Amino acid sequence: MGSVKIKTPVIVLNVKAYRESAGERGVTLAKTCEEVTRETGVTTAICPQQVDLALVAKKVKIPVLTQHAEPYAAGSYTGHVVLESVKAAGANGTLLNHSEHPMKIVDIDAVIRKAKELELMTIACTNNTDVSTSIAALHPTSIAIEPPALIGSGIPVSKADPDIVRNSVEAVKMIHDDILVLCGAGISTGSDIKAALELGVEGVLLASGVVKAKDPKAALLDLASGVP
């Protein structure tokens, strides 16, 4: 992934602000991802809760990304996360423009530029093929297509709308073929991930399917089993 090269396919876990992923439970989730990678060889990455970032980054060796960052340089800002502090926390990059944290286009551009300077990776979320194409022009490390209607639905985007995935992959790669394309929304099983990879993506972005699973490790192992 950009300067931080990672082996694909990759399973990226966004733990959101769930009760099940806060504090020690967040550290445990990150360690579970790390175990699954060790046991299966499938790359995993984690986006801890904002307040847990530095703590989690100290505890695991898998890539750790913040869930959102502002485009500002380090400075006199209160309650905002800047990329230099993400790096100082030992993390490797940031999610951008998640549908639960939509961003201004000028800020997406500025965060991607700043991340390149700092050798951090960026995973920008998009809601449709046009927005995927649009953000591809800004050259993030990765684009994760996540149709908002499917988030948390349990209906995998790879089944509900394979065209949006296929078209996004094609459109993004035509602009910059080194952008990794992921898909998200509704992915929860190994067969979902298998179907997604067949549509051309190089990984998935997940949240509730793992965080709220009774047994997150079993859920992750099932997901990893879908990777050929």
Annotated catalytic residues are 98, 146
**Binding characters for a copy of itself, 117-136, by CB under 8 A (x = yes):** ----------xx-xx-xxxx
Tokens of 24: 């020690």
Tokens linked to 189: 């099983």
Q: Kindly tell me which residue out of 5, 19, 61, 214 binds a copy of itself, with binding defined by CB under 8 A.
A: 19
Task: Number of residues interacting with a copy of itself: please give it, by CB under 8 A.
Answer: 68
- Cβ neighbours around 78 below 10 Å, total: 4
Candidates 118, 119, 137, 154; binder of a copy of itself (CB under 8 A) is 137
Considering the complex, state which of residue 38 and residue 105 has its C-beta at the smaller distance from a copy of itself. Answer: 105
Single out the residue of 208, 216, 223, 224 in contact with a copy of itself (rule: CB under 8 A): 208
> Measured between alpha carbons, how far is residue 96 from residues 179, 222, 227 in Å?
14, 27, 25
- Segment 157 to 186, residues that bind a copy of itself, using CB under 8 A: none
For a copy of itself, the closer CB: 137 or 218 = 137
The yes or no reply on residue 41 touching a copy of itself (CB under 8 A) is no
Nearer of residues 5 and 76 to a copy of itself, judged by Cβ: 76
* Minimum CB–partner distance for residue 122 and a copy of itself (Å): 13
| Single-letter amino acid, residue 223 | L
User: What token pair was written down for 97?
Assistant: 């423009």
With beta carbons less than 8 A apart as the criterion, state whether 68 and 35 touch.
Answer: no
Cα(47)–Cα(67) distance, integer angstroms? 6
CB of 40 to a copy of itself, least distance (A): 26
What's the CA gap between 142 and 172, in Å, rounded?
A: 10
- Cα–Cα distance for residue pair 145/64, rounded to 1 Å: 20
Q: Which is nearer to a copy of itself, 33 or 136 (CB)?
A: 136
Nearest CB to a copy of itself, comparing residues 54 and 149: 54
Residues between 70 and 109 with contacts to a copy of itself, criterion CB under 8 A: 72, 74-82, 84-86, 88-91, 95, 97-109
User: Whole-angstrom Cα distance, residue 73 to residue 54?
Assistant: 19
- The H-or-E segment that residue 172 falls in is helix 162-175
Indicate if the alpha-carbon torsion angle 134, 141, 13, 217 is positive or negative.
positive
67 near a copy of itself, rule: CB under 8 A: yes
- Report the interface residues with a copy of itself, using CB under 8 A: 14, 16-19, 22-26, 47, 49-55, 58, 66-68, 72, 74-82, 84-86, 88-91, 95, 97-109, 127-128, 130-131, 133-139, 151-152, 207-208
